Amino acid sequence: MKKAALKYNAAHLMAARAAREIKDGETAMIGVGLPLAAGIIAREVHAPSSMIVFEGGTVGAKSRRMPWSISDSATSDFALAAMELWRMLGDLQAGYVDVGVVGGAQVDRYGNLNSTAIFGQGSYARPKVRMPGSGGANDIASSCGRTIIMMRLGSRNFVSGLDYLTSPGYLSGGDARARANLSGGGPALVVTDRAVFRFDGQDKEMYLAEIDDPANLEAVRKLVGWPLRVSPELKKMKPPSAKEMEVMHRLDPLGIVLGTGAELELEDFEKYLGVLERNFPDEPLSR
């Protein structure tokens, strides 16, 4: 960090990094939270004619508030279109969505994801931890032009075997996905808070492509549950730019998504209203 002004947290780093993978003119299917922040940054900073669509069926909203879910009113504020969920995901299956963002609690070396259950000593029917389930993740992973995986790099989530495969990456690697009659191209990269991973062009195994600090290489290796390959051209992850930070501060004044901690203000209804009103920007953010 060169300037004090560019203080950022892990969420800011991930959102800004993922944003740079979205190209101008692209249609991006994006969930809320960090992926949405990434989509908005892309649109505001470097990809002005990219467009965000939500699984809920709204297209290209232009809102003055941050959506907190894939279907709250902020996703339909001044949107270009609103359609049924099946229709939007049918458009996805037909190939109209260029890029999507997915995540999960576990990922394996081929970019397959689990967002359904951690079995522990139990099973699918009686898991240690039950999670929300696929939502649209399986559909996006199956059919989107390409996907960006976003998740924190924790001690137990880059695993050698998933408890449950919710969303397909490159399956068992190699040409397994190409043979699978999936219209989507599969994961392009994995963006975490400490590193960025990409996939080998041949065997489709994940390798380390960028790292926050090269000194952390061994630490990252230890977190990954298989022998990690490292790119010979390993790069340093670029921190968020001033412009990217400015967009993030503007879009999430409550800090709900980016974790800058306005939690206290959510406790009290009057404070909540006050924050909404104070942070009502004159100019709508484009989505």
Catalytic residues: 55
In sequence order, the β-bridge partners of residue 53 are 29, 59
Size, binding site for other proteins by CB under 8 A: 91
**Residue 276 interacts with other proteins (CB under 8 A)?**
yes
Out of 21, 34, 43, 57, which residue is the one contacting other proteins (CB under 8 A)? 57
What is d(CA 229, CA 51) in angstroms, rounded to the nearest whole number? 34
Choosing from 180, 236, 238, 242, the residue that interacts with other proteins (CB under 8 A) is: 180
The footprint of other proteins on residues 22-51 (CB under 8 A) is 25-27, 32-33, 49, 51
Q: Which helix (H) or strand (E) is 93 found in, with range?
A: helix 85-93
Q: Is-contact 187 142, C-beta < 8 A?
A: no
| 178 binds other proteins per the rule CB under 8 A | no
- Minimum distance from CB of 74 to other proteins (Å)? 8
Q: What would the x/- binding string for other proteins be over residues 242 to 271, using CB under 8 A?
A: --------------xx--------xxxx--
Beta strands 229-236; 206-211: pairing state: parallel
Q: How far is the CB of 249 from other proteins (least distance, A)?
A: 18
**Integer Cα distance of 124 and 107 in angstroms:** 17
Cα gap 77→21, rounded to integer Å? 25
State the minimum distance, in angstroms, from the CB of residue 118 to other proteins.
Answer: 10
Q: Which is nearer to other proteins, 133 or 243 (CB)?
A: 133
CA–CA gap between residue 261 and residue 255 (Å, rounded): 5
Residue 267: phi, psi to the nearest 5? -65, -35
Question: Restricting to residues 183-222, which ones interact with other proteins according to CB under 8 A?
Answer: 183
Closer to other proteins by CB, 178 or 242: give it. 178
Query: Is residue 160 at the binding interface for other proteins, with CB under 8 A as the rule?
Result: no
Taking CB under 8 A as the criterion, the residue among 9, 46, 72, 231 binding other proteins is 72
- Give the Cα separation of 131 and 272 in Å (integer): 28
Does 146 bind other proteins (CB under 8 A)? Our answer is: no
Q: Per DSSP, which regions of the chain are E strands? A: 27-29, 51-53, 58-59, 81-82, 99-102, 106-107, 113-114, 117-118, 129-130, 146-150, 187-191, 195-199, 206-211, 229-236
With CB under 8 A as the contact rule, which of the stretches 1-9, 88-96, 148-156, 194-202 interacts with other proteins?
88-96
Nearer CB in complex with other proteins: 27/228 = 27
Among 218, 277, 282, 283, binds other proteins (CB under 8 A): 277
Instruction: Extract the tokens encoding 162.
Output: 């998933």
> Could you tell me which of 179, 184, 178 has the C-alpha nearest to residue 201?
178
Q: Does 136 bind other proteins (CB under 8 A)?
A: yes
* Residue 236 CB, nearest approach to other proteins (Å): 32
